[in-house]
Amino acid sequence: MVFSCLEPGLCDLRRPRGRSGTPRRNRCRASRSLGLPAPARGPDAELCPQPGDLPAPCPCPLALEDAHAALRSRAVCGLRASITSPRANPFPPRAGRYEGFADNAFETAPAMKPVAVFVHIHYVEAWPALRERIERSIQLPFRIVATGAAAGTVAPPDSPHLCGWQTVETANRGRDVLPFIEALRQAGDFDIGLKLHGKRSVHRLDGEAWAEMLTGELLPSPAEVAALVARFEGDERIGLAGAPTSFCTTAFHIGHNEAAIETVARRLDRDPADLMARTPFFCAGTMFWFRRTAFASLASTDLADLFEPEAGQTDGTAAHALERLFPALCEDAGYLALPIDLALSSDPSTSDSDLARATREQLDTDNAFVRRPGMLAAIVLSRLPHLARVYQALPQPVRRVIRWGTARGGTGSGR
């Protein structure tokens, strides 16, 4: 089901209000605040659309300066973000995770469609914290595409920037990956997306803490989020931007996934060896910002039969294979997959080769959740990959002792 603004001059549609449950009326407040008549849209122009309708560009004939003056720097759908004066910037930069990178967030970005935020909600108890972070960090037009059996039971974000709430009910199969692929086909028109999920990794003692770290890197301050979206809009080479600490060398974290990677790649009519050679890294955790066209091959290919029934698997499934293939498929489509800090600190004049080299220099950032193999372990794993399979075959308690008992150990992404 979709709730979306028919006249989204300002993206302020929230949940239905009133005891009757009738969706509230939505007049374009940009027009009303300036004393302009609402555009003629038929006798039902003030009513919410039927399920399935998507937001349209703002029809209000407003000058950018007047709109900002009237709305006191509130985000307006469809307005160009070519803002150069500090007074006009609705998201003034402030200190944040990527401090200094967001100063020019609105200098070159063209008119933007609302960002599509894909959220897989399997663990309902994980949704409130994720919703709060979305409300706090995304202060530009966005809409939610929620997947999972519980998606229809949770409350959408309480944000004036929310343009739409769409639920796609999916079975508990393929973790967050198969539902994401299904949602790509049903999400309608968008350019820039964000893939999130209520990650818990119940086979890990630190799964929830890892999820908090990843979402914090993907959704920093509002100014940094706006700057990242502007970079996507201003540099068409960027196809994926992930949490910097999630970028890992695939060969070091291949686990039991070689056969699944080959199966998925062949179904997509790709050579797995070529994919891995061109893009020897992946984003552990499968959460990232992305460009819709970077994953056109996923949306156009039926992969559903490759996903196994849920049985608590920790490795070797189609979901784990695609976790390691998302950046490779992005770059195979002609785009770049970058860490967020590199995407923000670069500009369109930075060469592809420099960006690729800088990305590879940032791989395997050592942290408490995805450990970087030491030099000897890296050599062994790259030349004797069967040892990684031996490690993955050990009981989970033994693997935890090995992972946490060594200074620089571990072979799996820990998904």
Rounded Cα distance between 227 and 45, Å, is 34
40 Cβ contact list (under 8 Å, min separation 6): none
Rounded Cα distance between 315 and 412, Å, is 9
CB 379, CB 371: distance < 8 Å: no
CB 182, CB 147: distance < 8 Å: yes
Rounded Cα distance between 71 and 53, Å, is 26
Nearest to 378 by CA among 391, 368, 390, 364: 364
Rounded Cα distance between 299 and 255, Å, is 26
8 Cβ contact list (under 8 Å, min separation 6): 26, 28, 55, 56, 58, 77, 78, 141, 163
Structure tokens at 189: 């028109």
Give the distance between the most distant pair of CA atoms in the chain. 72
The correct CATH number of 115-361 out of 1.10.10, 3.30.70, 3.90.550, 1.20.1070 is 3.90.550
Rounded Cα distance between 403 and 415, Å, is 14
pLDDT in tens, 375-395: 555 555 555 555 655 655 566
Report residue 232 CA to chain centroid gap: 13
Instruction: List, for the chain, all residue ranges whose pLDDT scores fall below the cut of 70.
Output: 1-97, 99-111, 199-208, 210, 366-415
The pLDDT score that the predictor gives to residue 311 is: 82
Pairing of strands 281-283, 247-249: antiparallel
Which residues are paired to 309 by β-bridges? 173
> Terminus-to-terminus CA distance in the chain, angstroms?
30
Q: How far is CA 61 from CA 57, 64, 78, in A?
A: 11, 10, 11
Ramachandran quadrant class, 78 (left: phi over 0; alpha: psi -120 to 50; beta: rest): left
Q: Cite the residue boundaries of each domain of the chain with CATH code 3.90.550.
A: 115-361
pLDDT in tens, 174-200: 989 999 999 999 999 999 999 999 865
The pLDDT score that the predictor gives to residue 345 is: 96
Rounded Cα distance between 143 and 162, Å, is 5
5 Cβ contact list (under 8 Å, min separation 6): 11, 12, 13, 26, 48, 55, 77, 163, 164
Rounded Cα distance between 407 and 363, Å, is 18
Report residue 139 CA to chain centroid gap: 15
Q: Which amino acid is at 258?
A: E
The pLDDT score that the predictor gives to residue 262 is: 97
pLDDT in tens, 257-279: 999 999 999 999 999 999 999 99
